[in-house]
Amino acid sequence: MKLGLSVIASAMLCSVLSACGGGSGAADNNGGSAAAPQLRRDGSFLVDDQNRTVILHGVNAVWKLKPYAPPDTAEGFTAADADWLQAHGFNSVRLGVLFAGVMPQQGMVDAGYLEQIDRAVQLLAARKIWVLLDFHEDMYNEKFFGEGFPDWAVYDDGVPLLFNAGFPGNLFQPATSITYDNFWNNKNQLWDYYRAAWQAVAAKWARQPYLMGYELINEPWSGTNFATCLPPLGCAGFDENKLQAMQQYMLSGIRQYDPDNLVWFEPLVLISYGAPTYLGAKTPVNDANLGFSWHLYCPTTSLSLLGLDNLTCDLLDADVLHVGEAGSDRLGAARLLTEFGATDLISDLTRSTAEFDQHLLGWQYWAYKNWHDPTTSAGSNAQGLFTDDADLTTVKTDKLKVLERTYPQFTAGTPTALSFDPDTGAFSYSYTARTAGAPTQIYVPLAVHYPNGYSVTASGAQVTSAPNAALLTLENTAGATTVKVTLTAK
């Protein structure tokens, strides 16, 4: 059976590569050049090809309904959307690539689907926006009112879904959890098909400029043993024998087609509620370009009406951030918070983004547009940045004021402290200087926070950009070990 699947995988990849251009594959999206701008891990940080630390502020763009790729429409994703993201300082996008889209029929990769995704990839890369390819899933499949896995990969042992309890309620139902169990147990070699789909993706985009890697699975659910994985203990055995084993199997498959780009592991979804992760605790992964992605959603934001949300969420957020950082350190991986938000509650966004600055942590807000998410209430658009997805002038200005921040996009050194006040525009940043081939670059949102310009002071570096530039650049002073920068609104 394994030999047969290997032959199938080879045939699939040949088909995909041919569709991308004469068998060279989209590995030649950069003309075959090995010098495509991509990110690498340096400790817990990301660095660019000029050895500068990169901090990411981005958004999620996941089209959860068929065809599982954003259409070329105003409501979907066009050049205007990519321009908007660039103009507002967002330098990364977590782009949904669904297993159901890549392999809608068992053993058959849909090259046309990859081309639909590639349209968005190229729009973003042309504007130097880093792209993370995310095998997104929620509640496994449409049968459980979620998305991600194709119909043929649903093995529910004949157990029906009792009723639609929504998200995350359907995760706790036997039908959904049994289906996850069968995936973790590799029923009918599901892992091999999942890996073949990832290999097709890696073969296509291995040399894609501004690709920041592959996120192996979104918010994995442990299945029927979920009760043993709850906080505060978590489930070491499952993490080791199922979750890590599966992700390492995907990693080894991807490395056959892309030996260099980042591959992002993700812990169980329960990390968002403070459950520890044991990825890497017993068996090291030993990959030079490993990333660790996790999410933060405070479950008590509903207490905002009582004025208690900040008190409880401060404690819960601190726990989730600590668990995530410990997990990335254990794995030897770069860190990125790839989901938070999904709300119009400004106090929640203000608190969270301030915490991320304190932790020097890059992030990707959920979500850019609402895009008829099947896991949310009908008609709700609280997740997105716009009141009307088809009209970019309907941006929610209060939300944008918090998310469009002054922040260091590239640093010729290692960050040590960062803070920004969205109410006053006050910005402070320090880093340990090191030699780099390009300057430190700080994004400054003029229209949102500095309509009258700004004043900047720097020690250990010289400002090289024009007054009130939207991209503030600095060159480290010769011999300086520490650089400090402050910026205030005029």
> Helices then strands (H, E): number in the chain?
13, 19
Nearby residues of 465 by Cβ (< 8 Å), 6 or more positions away: 471, 472, 473, 474
Going by the DSSP 8-state scheme, the letter that residue 300 receives in this structure is T
**Strand partners for 264:** 215, 291
Nearby residues of 317 by Cβ (< 8 Å), 6 or more positions away: 296, 298, 351, 352, 355
CA 50 to chain CA centroid, nearest Å: 23
Active site (annotated) includes residue 339:
yes
Query: Exposed/middle/buried for 399, CB within 10 Å: 0-12, 13-18, 19+?
Result: buried
**Strand partners for 133:** 95, 214
Handedness of CA 321, 340, 261, 264 (dihedral sign): positive
Catalytic residue among 215, 339, 355, 404: 339
Catalytic residue among 219, 266, 355, 404: 219
CA 300 to chain CA centroid, nearest Å: 23
CA–CA dist 199, 192 (Å, integer): 10
Active site (annotated) includes residue 215:
no
CA–CA dist 370, 347 (Å, integer): 20
Nearby residues of 91 by Cβ (< 8 Å), 6 or more positions away: 54, 56, 57, 58, 128, 129, 130, 409, 443
Q: Is residue 158 within 8 Å of residue 167, measured between CB atoms?
A: no
Give the active site residues: 219, 339
